[in-house]
Amino acid sequence: MWLTDAAIAEAVSQGEVVITPFVQEMSRPASHLLTLSDRVVRTRASYQPIDVFSRESVQQAFMPVERVSPILLAPGEFALAATRECVGLSPMHLGRLTGMSHLARLGLIVHVTADLVSPGFGWDVPTAITLELVNHHARPLMLHPGMPICHLMVGQMALPARQPYHWLGVRYGGSEEPTVSRYPDEFGSGKGVSRTAG
Residues annotated as catalytic (active site), given as ranges: 132
- CA-to-CA distance for 45 and 23, rounded, in angstroms? 38
Whole-number Å distance between alpha carbons of 37 and 144: 8
Pseudo-torsion of CA 63, 67, 72, 73, nearest 10°? 40
Residue type, 180: V
